[in-house]
Structure 1
Amino acid sequence: HDVDSSEKAFDVCAWYAMREALGKADVCLLEPIMKLEIEAPDEFQGSITGHLSSKRGVISSAENREGSCVIIAEVPLAGMFDYANELRSMTQGKGGFSMEFLCYRQCPRNIQAEVIERRQKEKKEKSLASA
């Protein structure tokens, strides 16, 4: 309505409404989950699955094929950096893997708290450096 308001007033009102809604919301952090397919000799299956569990991975399937195993898992991307070297070390260079994006899932609360704390610390350090 031209008489009662302006475009700027609507913008300000929307900003305050959004800020209030986000303040009341139960906010969560999402993390990318990757679908991982690993192929390695059978003898390394136990160490690979244990290692994936330490990375918060969930094994979808594991099959044995003529002396080798194929493991399909869902793993948070955060745990997959440098995985090629880790797998190579675990399998004496005999294992390989492929990885593709699967979905986003809610990050566990303890990890979410760590990420937020780290980000706030970085932000504080940056503001101190620019002051």
Structure 2
Amino acid sequence: MAIYNLKRSVVSMILLALMPVVASAEDEDPLTAAALGLVEARIRELGLRDPSVNLIFGDLTGTGTADAIVFVYHASGGSGEMLTTWVLKERSGTYTVGKDVSNEELFGYDPRNVTFSPGQISVTTTVPRDNDPHCCPTGVRTFQVSVD
């Protein structure tokens, strides 16, 4: 499973190619480039500001596809960040957005322990507990995202 973490300003998003932090540029294969291209296009299309992207690959079909889940943390206009999440489906080297995941289905910070299985993705995030200040969530929750 490959994980890519990206941080870019609006100006650099337009001018520069996405740079993976976890993997080097030599590790970027054509599928990764295709997925990142779709993510960049969606970020521009939706006008998401100051995006920070986590892109995690896995197989949703059990047949060896390089599907992915994308977590985009971006400026909300207030003091906090918003989370936009997409599931990308790969077919013959081409990616499409298979699902826009709602914030009711999945929320939190620091996505980890991501597992893909046919039709489902499991993700653990850090979430606020009842008395946590907005800045500093301390809870942990695992979400199950169904994907058709």
- TM bin, normalised by shorter chain, reads under 0.3
TM-score by length of 1: 0.25
Comparing both structures, which one devotes a greater share of its residues to strand? Answer: 2
Bigger Rg, which one: 1
**Which is helix-richer, 1 or 2?**
1
